[in-house]
Copies of this chain bind each other. A is one copy, B any other.
């Protein structure tokens, strides 16, 4: 993309009402614009990152055999009355009356609807196991929306639901989701720690939240420092293998890691003092096995092998897709702007032309631009007629991980400069070498 043909309204001033770095930077980098309290338009740059995150979530869910679909944003109230949550949900549920005076609502989550769908069509244990998911806009009418997309009212979430014949199968689905979440967050450049969560009125031990450590996190977290040494890495997983998935769960949840809701000071005190950590975290996902609660209420039963009619064992598993943009920026920025991890960057590299209008420099930039595209990469070429300082500041602000600087002095020796946004380090090399280096960096993403 050539910047002169793009729509990237960066702001020079820091917006006064934005309290945290990610909110400020998303506004300044021209990623979002608020349209109403807690409701945002995703400007082109923000939309691109949102799509990258969506794509990673889709890929990792489907890798595990989970099936994508799409439920609508508006739901009839009847399903929620059946589950008993219509009255219980409180003022955060946006209630709507249509022209025929039917009670509706903007879905904050989809347990009722998906259970109704599966209950309608699935009648035999032979159709199991089954995990369906969607990525759809949700609404939660927060009293005080704040922190930009981190606590918005209209937000994008991936929510998935597993349906299994037995508790054992459903716990395998739980473990499988944990694996997919670990992989997804790592691909986004995040370390998200599974922490034991509060299962609320339904009870049970089977729920974990995933938290990204960040000073601006809404939760206080307590953990054994050993947990931050873990990484999932590139290991191969057979998602049908119960023992393999269980082993991952044990590896990633056996050390102490809890939020203030489940923190137990006595257990924490048993960890060697040097490893005890108290910090803050941002919740970016949650997995939850809740048994037959919804299937009994919504009528999702199947015949088992003995011909008996039994309720399905279910769990629901969510990733906060739009919120993740905020979380990633909170975890990865400096005073000049955003620093995108390679896995989610809106453009793979920026090209800065130091002397726009100079025939040789323009031609070198065009060549580089085309070569990057031919290598399967998406460059953003700053072809504006502007000073170098302004171009560097824009690139630093929007946070592309790699910048190629092209100027007449370097070109005299056949060289351009490749700069890492994260380290600030620059290296001179030929344009061909720069393309090769970037193709290599992005090869497995």
Tell me the A residues contacting B by CB distance below 8 Å.
5-7, 9, 30, 33, 35-37, 39-44, 46-48, 50, 65, 67-76, 79, 91-92, 94, 96, 98-100, 102, 104, 106, 113, 116-117, 120-122, 127, 130, 132, 134, 137, 139, 141, 143, 153-154
Across-interface contacts of A127 in B (CB, < 8 A): 7
If A36-B75, A120-B33, A154-B72 touch, whether A7 touches B67 (CB-CB below 8 Å) is: yes
Across-interface contacts of A71 in B (CB, < 8 A): 35, 41-42
Given contacts A40-B72, A42-B69, A50-B70, 13 further A-B contacts (CB under 8 A): A7-B127, A7-B130, A30-B121, A35-B79, A37-B102, A39-B76, A44-B132, A73-B73, A74-B106, A74-B139, A91-B99, A92-B99, A96-B106
If A73-B73, A74-B154, A154-B72 touch, whether A67 touches B40 (CB-CB below 8 Å) is: no
Assess whether A69 is in contact with B91, with CB atoms less than 8 Å apart. no
Q: Say how far A136's CB is from chain B's closest CB, in angstroms.
A: 9
A-B contact pairs, 10 of them (CB 8 A): A5-B65, A9-B120, A33-B120, A35-B72, A36-B74, A36-B76, A39-B74, A44-B69, A47-B70, A73-B154
Across-interface contacts of A96 in B (CB, < 8 A): 94, 96, 106
Assess whether B69 is in contact with A43, with CB atoms less than 8 Å apart. yes
7 nearest A-B residue pairs (beta carbon): A9-B121, A42-B70, A36-B76, A41-B71, A91-B99, A99-B141, A47-B69
